[in-house]
Homo-oligomer: A and B are copies of this chain.
Amino acid sequence: VNVHDLPTPSLLVDLAAFEHNVATMAEAHPGPALRPHVKAFKSTALARRLVEAGHRGFCCATVREMEGMAAAGLGDDLLLANEVVGPAATRLGTLARSGTARVTAAVDSAATMEAAADSGVTEVLVDVCVGLPRCGCPPEEAASLADLARSRGLEVRGVMGYEGHLMREQPAEDKAAKVEQAMALLVEAHEAVGGDVVSAGGTGTYDCNRWATEIQAGSYVLMDTEYVPHAPAFRNALILWTTVISVYQPAGWAVLDGGLKCLGMDHGNPTVEGGQCFVVSDEHITYFPDGDRPAVGDRVRVVPAHVDPTVALHERMYVVDGEAVVDTWEVDLRNW
């Protein structure tokens, strides 16, 4: 199939850029030194390529991602790098008890730890806040949480702490210094907690986080326009493939058949190749072409500003090598 015969809007993965990204990261963090984050691509077909690149442990943000990875035979070592209680914890415990995957859960409170133990999860990481205003316990409480977990019979594998607030820090020296400060909190918590694992980091800090035993990066695989300045070793591999459906000759704008419902918009407008993005609405991008006006029916490549929520809006990604569509990866891990 030629890319020009695909329906639009659809997601393309540029195979050369993807392979470059995977190889670059695997060289920096080979095998178990990287725990790729499934939330960034939500596809077991893509995850298999990361296994081929040497990574066998993954982290997930949702129970559905955990279940789907296990069902696909990719459950060697799955970390739910997120907190769950209630029905979600019950589902996670069911997965752990099924024996189809090694399941580790992040816990940052007595409540999430008890939920894990009650559900049948047997292994946990203590999630420590290292500055990002999100999940994670205060560092000084990590030891008592670990004690509580062990008193409930849970295996404490170590700690995790995500320095997400530093991914976009500039310049690089400042970033490195701040990552060191954040990781000092995690290392201290790890000394108090014990276990083998210090799980941290992301695409924006993969090259300066020297304290994590495993880096939790996901965005590097497909990248987006917003992340490139902060991790310039990686290339945009994800493209929204669209068709020109209207050209307004008096003013010179053209309209593409993809909009808000196929693009994560929290990082702002996407980049329209060969033009300037003007307005993005539910099903349309209106843009001004740089050169000659396109014709209705022309195809246009659009590069998303934020990969994770973009992928979550699509059923599948088409892998392209030049103009040839060489594979189709289902986004089988989306939804909850």
Interface residues of A (CB under 8 A from B): 5-10, 39, 61-62, 82-88, 108-109, 111-112, 129, 133-138, 164, 243, 245-251, 253, 255, 257, 260-262, 264-266, 278-284, 286, 295-297, 306, 308-309, 312-315, 334-336
A311, chain B: closest CB distance, angstroms: 9
Q: Which residues of B contact A250 (CB under 8 A)?
A: 138
Name which residue of chain B comes closest to A90, CB basis: B7
Minimum-distance CB pairs A-B, first 5: A111-B296, A83-B245, A265-B266, A135-B246, A261-B312
Contact among B135, B248, B312 with A284 in the assembled complex (CB-CB below 8 Å): B135
Most chain B beta-carbon contacts within 10 A, residue among A245, A266, A312: A245
Within the complex, the shortest CB–CB distance from A211 to chain B, in Å, comes to: 22
Which residues of B are found within 8 Å of A251, using beta-carbon distances?
Answer: 133
Interchain CB contact under 8 A, A246 and B283? no
Q: Are B297 and A246 in contact (CB under 8 A)?
A: no
A63 to chain B: closest residue by CB: B7
Return A313 CB to nearest CB of chain B, in Å: 7
Chain B residues near A315 (CB, 8 Å)?
A: 335
Q: Is the CB of A39 within 8 A of B7?
A: no
B246 touches A308 (CB 8 A): no
Indicate if the CB atoms of A296 and B260 lie closer than 8 Å: no
Q: How far is the CA of A137 from the CA of B8 in the complex (A)?
A: 22
14 contacts between A and B (CB under 8 A): A6-B87, A8-B87, A10-B336, A82-B257, A83-B255, A83-B296, A85-B297, A111-B295, A111-B297, A112-B245, A133-B253, A133-B286, A260-B266, A313-B313
Q: Looking at the complex, which one of B135, B246, B247, B260 makes contact with A255 (CB distance below 8 Å)?
A: B135
Query: A133 touches which one: B10, B88, B260, B279 (CB < 8 A)?
Result: B279
CA–CA, A315 and B265, complex, Å? 20
A270 CB to closest chain B CB (Å) equals 12
> How far does the alpha carbon of A176 sit from the alpha carbon of B206 in the complex, in Å?
55
**Which residue on chain B has the smallest CB distance to residue A309?**
B260
How far is it, in angstroms, between the C-alpha of A254 and the C-alpha of B335 when the chains are bound?
A: 23
Give the shortest distance, in Å, between A141 (CB) and chain B (any CB): 9
Which residue from chain B places its CB closest to the CB of A316 in the assembled complex? B335
Q: Please pick, from B137, B243, B246, the residue contacting A86 in the complex, using a CB distance under 8 A.
A: B243
The one of B8, B245, B280, B295 in contact with A82, judged by C-beta atoms closer than 8 angstroms, is B245
Given contacts A260-B308, A266-B280, contact A246 B108 (CB under 8 A): yes
Tell which of B133, B137, B286, B297 touches A134, judged by Cβ atoms closer than 8 Å: B286
Tell me the complex Cα distance, A85–B245, Å: 7
CB < 8 Å neighbour of A308 from B261, B278, B280:
B261
Query: Could you tell me the distance in whole angstroms from the C-beta of A165 to the nearest C-beta in chain B?
Result: 9
CB-based contact B88/A248 at 8 Å: no
CB of B7 within 8 A of CB of A282, answer no
What chain B residues lie within 8 Å of A8 (beta carbons)? 86-88
